[in-house]
Amino acid sequence: MAKINFGGTLENVVTREEFPLEKAREVLKNEVVAVIGYGVQGPGQSLNLKDNGINVIIGQRKDSKTWQKAIADGWVPGKDLFEIEEAAEKATIIQFLLSDAGQIAVWPTLKKYLTAGKALYFSHGFGVTYKEQTGIVPPADVDVILVAPKGSGTSLRRLFVAGKGLNSSYAIFQDATGKAYQRVVALGIAVGSGYLFETDFKKEVYSDLTGERGILMGAIAGAFEAQFNVLRKNGHSPSEAFNETVEELTQSLMPLIAENGMDWMYANTSVTAQRGALDWRHKFRKALEPVYDELYESVKTGEEARIVIEKGSKLDYRASLEAELTELRNSELWLTGAQVRKLRP
């Protein structure tokens, strides 16, 4: 573990140089890793583990669409693809990668397979952090660990295939065996992390829920809509409004910011853009910070968890979700976006 200076704060970080794949394989050579769930994170993490030479199996309901997806990805029933209970029984490390709602539903079945010395692995701190609402309380004689890739399972897999990595956080909630650190870091490297930074279960879920509702999805969607609407009501065409709002950001500016930082971006634009951005960023920050304070408090108190659990457990959730997504898809903004994407060379 190395100490890295991030903006004046020293943090614990594990890199591939410090903990190479060969070391991860050595740590995990006698382990059987069962990935329970084959939805968002399951495919990417399990396929990366498999390609890295780790003994990994899949646990999934046989009558589910994701069972068929696992077969399509090369997993073989009876060899490395099993029903959830059989996979959990065979495992020494159980990667619990079902959705938060799925974890709540399966927990009563899964917990009986968490015998002494095993490890329970999460990629999200939700179930354990909000245990009063989820009922997920791991037994005291198992390791409870977390590796949370900072992106989707699809991105994790795509970057792995390209020979790159997606940064991940790691955490240890419970070290029953004395091996929790070695296990969590080895798994973090083996699933394809670029580097690992230390956190805890609460901080992971607080930052994750804030990020999803904030800049990663909720806030950026709202910002897109607000600017597009203002341009449209002032007479700009849909194409012009979309290009100035979404296309230029996603296709031109964000890759450069990712490579070089926002300071570089400001230094390499016209004086007109530079001056306006520097002045207006303060107004946006002052306007948004109270909203983020409200959001973080809602996450911290468990209110966001309550909403997710309550709405996600309703029988008509999928139907109501599709209605909301259809409304978004059919808005002028995203109908324009679909046409713009078709016109890209």
Examine the residue annotation and report whether 124 is marked as an active-site residue of this protein: yes
Kindly state the percentage of the chain with pLDDT values over 70.
100
pTM of the model: 0.91
Domain borders along the chain are 2-199, 214-343
Residue 1 has pLDDT above 80, yes or no: no
Instruction: Categorize the per-residue pLDDT at 33 as very low, low, confident or very high, splitting at 50, 70 and 90.
Output: very high
Position 63 scores a pLDDT of 82
Residue 224 has pLDDT above 90, yes or no: yes
Topology (CATH level 3) of domain 2-199? Rossmann fold (3.40.50)
Mean pLDDT throughout 236-259?
A: 96
Residues 48 and 26 sit within 8 Å (Cβ to Cβ) = no
Mean pLDDT throughout 53-63?
A: 95
Q: Catalytic one among 118, 124, 183, 232?
A: 124
Instruction: Categorize the per-residue pLDDT at 231 as very low, low, confident or very high, splitting at 50, 70 and 90.
Output: very high
Q: Tokens 């971006």, residue?
A: 265
Instruction: Categorize the per-residue pLDDT at 313 as very low, low, confident or very high, splitting at 50, 70 and 90.
Output: confident
What is residue 10's three-state secondary structure?
Answer: strand
Distance, CA of 215 to CA of 292 (rounded, Å): 10
Position 4 scores a pLDDT of 86
Residue 51 has pLDDT above 80, yes or no: yes
Give the DSSP H or E segment for 41: none
User: Do 2-199 and 214-343 share a fold?
Assistant: no
- Top-level class of domain 214-343: mainly alpha
Chain-wide mean pLDDT for the chain?
95
HEC states along 203-266? HHHHHHHHHHHCCCCHHHHHHHHHHHHHHHHCCCCHHHHHHHHHHHHHHHHHHHHHHHCHHHHH
Count CB-CB contacts under 10 A for residue 160: 21
Instruction: Categorize the per-residue pLDDT at 312 as very low, low, confident or very high, splitting at 50, 70 and 90.
Output: confident
Phi then psi dihedrals of residue 192, to 5 deg: 105, 25
